[in-house]
Amino acid sequence: MGIDRRTLFKAGGVVAAVSALPAAAPGAVAAAPGGSPGPLTTRNPLVEQRADPFITRPADDTDGMYYLTGSVPEYDRVVVRGASTIDGLATARERTIWRRPASGPMAGYIWAPELHRIGDRWYVYFAAGDGDDPFRIRTYVLESPNADPRASGWLPPKRMVTGWESFTLDATTFSHRGKRYFLWAQSEPGIATNSNLYIAEMASPTSLATAPVRIAVPTLSWEIQGFRVNEGPAVLIRNGRVFVTFSASATDARYCMGLLTADENANLLDARSWTKSPNPVFVTNAETSQFGPGHNSFTRHGDDDVLVFHARDYRDITGDPLFDPNRHTRVQKLYWNEDGTPSFGVPVGKGGTVVRLSPYDARHLVVRHAEFRLRVEGNVREVADSWFRFTPGHLGAGTVSVRSVNFPDRHVTAGDGVLRVEPYADTDEYGRATSFVKVPGLADRSGVSLRLLDDPAEYVSHDNGRLVVARPGGGRAERACATFLIR
């Protein structure tokens, strides 16, 4: 959340508290047999009006459960819900585990809680202002000895001392190479920014062992829109590197995500170990109607990494952005480039399951559009160009259309034998060109083949990096070219 909250406090008093929600019940959706988690949820949003979302990663010490917490629009409490699947979080009942006092320390606004299992205890790190000075934001930690974080019995919050008496928020923690680290945003005296990112080694889950090390300061154009902000860090350790995403700029449509990277063998407490990517990695996308994506976390779905974040469905906001309650929790699969770096794509809009298609005869490649023509390539760094959705066909019962995800007004057309993604048109010609019969793969029934509507002998086929319309016949190689695996 951005330090532009200052205008929030200037604008008005404390929002009225709401009644506590009833105790949560376990998620209603069970994991698929054999340990497979089934498809990642296609709900968008996953949970409405939960900003700064944090979803735990299922593990043995959490009984395989997912737990979600985040900022509520009233900024007055810490909530937790749990389910056995990510999708189950959408309908899981929510429990208030702590509510701010009526006055004094922590009686101001409550922001950005994160829930972590450390050893045999749960900890929630959150930011809170004081009743007499709501902008005096500091970081606190709740602790529970219970196995279920939704249960009662949380100990009173403790203050996390981070080096300066200044604005402090958005703390996270992670373990690496036998050491536990604390990572957070703070306004450092003497630096003309709203918040920077800092890291320290922890002595315990409630205290630091080392002095803060500044690893990021907002200086680039996309980090200083409205406010000079680096905040909301989230950690992902993969492929020999430690990645830290963070959010930048004001909390309206200019809000976006950046990326820091360090080698996994580096001294993480040395600021020189960290490199900031020159451009943001996740930004507003008007085509998908997702605005101000940011303050993310990461979870897992089977073998896949999942990006958890908030965004709005509209750009224009009346008044201060923090009075607008509609920063909703969203999730989508995180992809990886061949060089081991994360590929975020675009914030996905509403619709069904997002898929990638790989030709059966070139399984290491994927179908993508480039300049709105379809082709087959490897190492597609513009990952959203390879995202599609199957939707009901525009013409013909039992047919499907293939819709672009990052240009949702466009569908795959094959009207003239050349495969493109073209804007929707309310004509029979467009309907025929975009409607296919989806059948089990001609070379492998676990895949799919797309037959043209007007000619049952013609199929979408792969031909040396191009997508064409062909008549595969009975040959094995031809049938493989007309078969696609869903990724």
* Residue 415 confidence (pLDDT) above 90: no
Strand partners, 421: 412
Catalytic member of 4, 52, 170, 324? 52
Whether the upstream peptide bond of residue 58 has omega within 30° of 0, thus cis, is no
Catalytic residue among 76, 94, 223, 231: 231
Asked if residue 81 has pLDDT above 50, the reply is yes
The whole-angstrom separation of Cα 300 and Cα 286 is 28
Q: What is the DSSP letter of 383?
A: G
Provide the 3-class DSSP secondary structure of residue 92.
Answer: coil
Query: Which residue is it, tokens 């309310």?
Result: 426
Residue 479 phi/psi, 5-degree rounding, is -70, -35
Mean of the per-residue pLDDT values of the chain: 92
Q: Is the model's pLDDT at 478 over the cut of 90?
A: yes
* Sheet strand arrangement including 328-333: 291-301, 304-312, 328-333
The predicted-structure confidence for 270-324, as pLDDT tens digits, reads as follows 999 999 999 999 999 999 999 999 999 999 999 999 999 999 999 999 999 988 9
Contacts for 433 with CB less than 8 Å, ≥ 6 apart: 413, 414, 415, 416, 422
Q: How far apart are the first and last CA of the chain?
A: 34
Tokens linked to 49: 């009006």
Structure letter (DSSP) for residue 377: E
Dihedral of CA 260/264/268/274: which sign?
A: negative
16-39 pLDDT tens trace = 333 333 333 333 333 333 344 677
How far is residue 124's CA from residue 352's CA, in Å, rounded to a whole number?
A: 33
**Mean pLDDT value across residues 321-334:** 95
- Greatest Cα-to-Cα distance within the chain, rounded to the nearest angstrom: 79
Q: Write phi, then psi, for 248 (nearest 5 degrees).
A: -145, 155
Answer yes or no: 52 catalytic. Answer: yes
Q: What pLDDT band is residue 250 in, cutting at 50, 70 and 90? A: very high
Model confidence band, residue 59 (pLDDT cutoffs 50, 70, 90): confident
Closest to 300 measured CA to CA, from 29, 66, 46, 70:
66
CATH number of 5-343: 2.115.10.20
Residue 37 has what pLDDT? 67
Measure the CA angle with vertex 248, ends 244 and 254; round to 5°. 135
Domain at 357-486: CATH architecture: Trefoil (2.80)
> Among residues 279, 252, 335, 342, which one has the least CA distance to residue 51?
252
Strands (E), 205-312: 207-208, 213-216, 230-238, 241-248, 256-263, 275-276, 291-301, 304-312
Q: Pick from 407, 467, 4: which is nearest to 224 by CA? A: 4
pLDDT at 225: 98
Quote the CA–CA distance of 127 and 463 in Å, as a whole number: 56
Distance, in Å, from the CA atom of 293 to the CA atom of 309, rounded to the nearest integer, reads 7
Fold match between 5-343 and 357-486?
A: no
Cα dihedral sign for 142, 146, 151, 154?
Answer: negative
Q: Which pLDDT score is estimated for 23? A: 35
Does residue 468 have a pLDDT over 90? yes
All structural domains of the chain with their residue ranges: 5-343, 357-486
Residue pair 81/92 in contact by the 8 Å Cβ criterion: yes
Residue 197 makes CB contacts below 8 A (sequence gap 6+) with 183, 184, 185, 214, 215, 216, 217, 230, 231, 233, 244, 246, 260
Secondary structure of 185-226 as H, E, C letters: EECCCCCCCCEEEEEEEEEECCEECCCCEEEECCCCHHHCCC
Place 163 in a pLDDT band, splitting at 50, 70 and 90. confident
> Are the C-beta atoms of 309 and 294 separated by less than 8 Å?
yes
Contact residues for 415 (Cβ-Cβ < 8 A; gap 6+): 429, 430, 432, 433
- Taking a C-beta distance cutoff of 8 angstroms, is the pair 221, 249 a contact? no
Report how far residue 384's alpha carbon sits from residue 288's, in angstroms, rounded to the nearest whole number: 11
In terms of DSSP bridges, do strands 291-301 and 304-312 run parallel, antiparallel, or are they unpaired? antiparallel
